[in-house]
Structure 1
């Protein structure tokens, strides 16, 4: 296990939130034996205004320096992560003209770099290891600016143009070519990134097994009860409405529940017309295990397209950890799960597999799923993640001699 290092994470997410984040899970475990600084997603002046108006939730006091920008966050195991909120930056993503964008974004880079340098000095973080978690927009301009010993790119999804427009593709490409190594969450991502950097590896998503196992099923529900199928996660553009609608319509005696952020209103508009469908708002991460345990089957209905090929869904291990069968569309090649979940190539098979898995589940299959998920714990993933970093440190040390 990696030990005694100074780690700074340039993140694309917040630390807290209502869904599990792989970056938070890994850093929480690495913090047990290392000094870890998590740099919160860089909020803009627009976010400040929206938060003051009560339309958003951002830590305005810390952003403006009215409260400490660095605080200690206790992890589930009692470790401490230094949590940093940077000053607000300027909103720039809406700018189409690259020349104008670069000029204004240079101000953001200055603000970000200045705060990170102040933090490094204050916390006495010598030779830090920089882990840029899915944020090449800020990762690239920070290269060789922080007296870092090593830069790791942690890539857990393919880039899209929703936030940063098409310019993000070239930025990520340059970043991949310049970092010391890349750690990806899927084989597909790794194959793509290896074309840009030979030092590219895979550490797949895991599950907080100790959180889920108290709620694991011990047996199937009574045969005379109504079967319940559940989905927990973001309801966005990745969601395959057509396959889901077909299954719901063809299985009127099965209840379907959807829990999570609704970012694509069409999902609710089309599916809520069926009497066997219910939508619920998102829940806190610690509430997920108990919620999953009441389901007879979990689903992952993502569209089969180029964007979704990158995904290794967190929820697949979470479903298995409580023992429920899983049916998913064939959106990604998840070879590890071929013997454990049903993968549907079209909507007809999606409906068929749901029906079959509900009918054929057993006590023995439940236990098999739980034991499989145990092997994919975040503890095991953190060890693998740390081993790759240690290997990169050793390689760089040799090259410097």
Structure 2
């Protein structure tokens, strides 16, 4: 096996639960290949529930060396920071430039030699890089699912993926449907589904027991939008004599099944711990919804269940049906929730006579060692052919011209770009809308107003806007009490002015509570007001603050007072819903400050 350099554009981050991306990278590393693993740059615009992931990405970037981290002597990690607008033509060009610059600098400093490119991601930026920056490199697309069918926001990927199918030198697929889809555009295709680290599982002798008095039914992997929660709700409620254990990150609302006493969530564990828990289980389940996306998926967990000797129950996914028919119908396949529950009952009644050794034998046939050998042999054969046709000629003048051009870009174009992107693009409008959250409003026990936060000036007129907001909600009889607090220490107390204004507008003085002490931070403000709300048994409030201050406040409220229902309305100075292309210096300063404040609070474990 020859030693090569690889760049892997991943569709997941390195820290997520163990998957094909990790297997491939670690195996290349063990074979003394060097790998630059580029974290996921996404396939859809960001949403509010991405906030935690965005903050983590920023923190990881801060504690890296210009975005790079060392995993081991052969694996380096790139944590890219790009603009989260994957299909905007303007930002595609900008993101391509930013990512290309980082990678080329890395290649130069690390002496990467004609790296082989493997991408799991049909993102427009990646395709631009393959067509331009890496046009003379061997390019492999590992098609791991039907990504454009994963969510409505990812639908534009379909046309980009077709382009990638056509332009890649080599295509790997994980399922029969992905193979058939890619065959329309390329002839150099190999179907290499995920496989199991069989030796590693057999050598892991640790067993972590849980719920020893009952039969344990286990699911490993992310609880994401592919999971059929309605099916699980039915099965778990019907089979209360069984334990249901879930190992993996929770990415969706699981309240429907969280309420049951026979359900346990162990969260995301390292792969070794996951296997140690699996070995104490009795069955493995794959409760996926059946749709175009899941029919294109080959479940990594399938062979891990079998390697641990677990019988498997699954919904009727296309790839599972093919696998089962190729192995004497070893998988119990369900067309509906009643069948799913009955299969569990049936397996439990026959559990002692099931041939667990046969299950492990089937898994061993799908071992990662065998799969990796096929993958690496295919790459090396294609690399030899590719290098024969590669034009190795160099043009010294062209190289000199490119060096001069890069210097000019760094000196002149980058500052201009930063100015334009800051003041004449929708970037800060998008970022501001992430900060300015709002929720549906209904009658509540009280209104809580934070005045003075979220403004950049020591002396500001923000309290006037909060006064008008407060008046509107009180006049609409949405609450009977109002609590006023200020985050700014000023000559005349803002809360005193707010109170005076509300009284002159006819609001009963007895309904107004003010805090004349100035908290040192939003966190202290929340704690001060929150303690009084708890004392007064108030559990439902309308919270009014400066719009860009609302996300930080909300995160602190929910972390410290989870039993208080927080409703945040649109206020007078909420950012416009229509996209804005011009930004003021003041707004930019406030937005940047708020994101830094969120990071600061996260690092100090305030939420």
Does the TM-score normalized on the shorter chain lie above 0.5? yes
2:315 maps to which residue? 329
2:551 maps to which residue? none
1:209 equivalenced with 2:207 (yes/no) = no
2:300 maps to which residue? 314
Shift of 1:102: 0.6
Cα distance in 2 for partners of 1:92, 1:34 equals 33
Shift of 1:238: 0.8
SS of 2:140's equivalent? strand
1:290 equivalenced with 2:268 (yes/no) = no
SS of 1:255's equivalent? strand
Shift of the 295–51 alpha-carbon distance from structure 1 to 2, 3 Å rule, reads: closer
SS of 2:246's equivalent? strand
Shift of 1:124: 2.0
Cα distance in 1 for partners of 2:153, 2:105 equals 27
Shift of 1:83: 2.4
Cα distance in 1 for partners of 2:288, 2:50 equals 32
Contact 1:216/1:370 (CA < 8 Å) preserved in 2? no
Of residues 105, 109, 130, the one that matches 1:118 is 105
Shift of the 256–60 alpha-carbon distance from structure 1 to 2, 3 Å rule, reads: closer
2:71 maps to which residue? 73
Cα distance in 2 for partners of 1:316, 1:398 equals 40
- 1:303-354 Cα distance to aligned partner (Å, 9 max, x none): 1111101111111111111111111111223323433321112222211211
1:36 equivalenced with 2:35 (yes/no) = yes
1:107 maps to which residue? 94
2:592 maps to which residue? none
1:382 maps to which residue? 372
Of residues 77, 80, 93, the one that matches 1:83 is 77
- Which structure 1 segments of 5+ residues have no match? none
1:155 equivalenced with 2:149 (yes/no) = no
- 1:132-186 Cα distance to aligned partner (Å, 9 max, x none): 1224333210124136431000111111364954321111111111111110111
SS of 2:147's equivalent? coil
Q: Normalising to structure 2: TM-score of the pair?
A: 0.57
Cα distance in 2 for partners of 1:24, 1:369 equals 24
Cα distance in 1 for partners of 2:168, 2:245 equals 42
Shift of 1:66: 6.4
| Residue pairs, 1:163-242, within 5 angstroms | 165-214=154-203, 225-242=213-230
Cα distance in 1 for partners of 2:54, 2:103 equals 28
Cα distance in 2 for partners of 1:396, 1:312 equals 30
SS of 1:56's equivalent? helix
Cα distance in 2 for partners of 1:85, 1:369 equals 39
1:261 equivalenced with 2:255 (yes/no) = no
- 1:233-282 Cα distance to aligned partner (Å, 9 max, x none): 211211122332332233232222223222221xx222234443333322
Shift of the 105–136 alpha-carbon distance from structure 1 to 2, 3 Å rule, reads: closer
Shift of 1:400: 5.4
The structure whose RCO (Cα within 8 Å, separation 6+) is larger is: 1
Larger radius of gyration: 2
Shift of the 227–215 alpha-carbon distance from structure 1 to 2, 3 Å rule, reads: farther
Tell me the matched-pair count: 378
- Which shows bigger deviation, 122-131 or 297-306? 122-131
1:247 maps to which residue? 235
- 1:276-298 Cα distance to aligned partner (Å, 9 max, x none): 33333222222101111121111
- 1:74-112 Cα distance to aligned partner (Å, 9 max, x none): 3xxxx62132334x212214xxxx6xx111221111000
Shift of the 249–153 alpha-carbon distance from structure 1 to 2, 3 Å rule, reads: same
Shift of the 242–59 alpha-carbon distance from structure 1 to 2, 3 Å rule, reads: closer
Cα distance in 1 for partners of 2:252, 2:185 equals 33
- 1:23-79 Cα distance to aligned partner (Å, 9 max, x none): 111121112232222122348xx99xx999998323646x369636444323xxxx6
SS of 1:57's equivalent? helix
Shift of the 71–241 alpha-carbon distance from structure 1 to 2, 3 Å rule, reads: closer
- Which shows bigger deviation, 383-392 or 355-364? 355-364
Cα distance in 1 for partners of 2:206, 2:78 equals 39
- Which structure 2 segments of 5+ residues have no match? 392-607
1:15 maps to which residue? 14
- 1:183-209 Cα distance to aligned partner (Å, 9 max, x none): 011122111111121212111111222
2:22 maps to which residue? 24
Shift of the 53–199 alpha-carbon distance from structure 1 to 2, 3 Å rule, reads: closer
Contact 2:93/2:125 (CA < 8 Å) preserved in 1? no
Shift of the 181–122 alpha-carbon distance from structure 1 to 2, 3 Å rule, reads: same
Cα distance in 2 for partners of 1:153, 1:188 equals 15
Contact 1:249/1:274 (CA < 8 Å) preserved in 2? yes
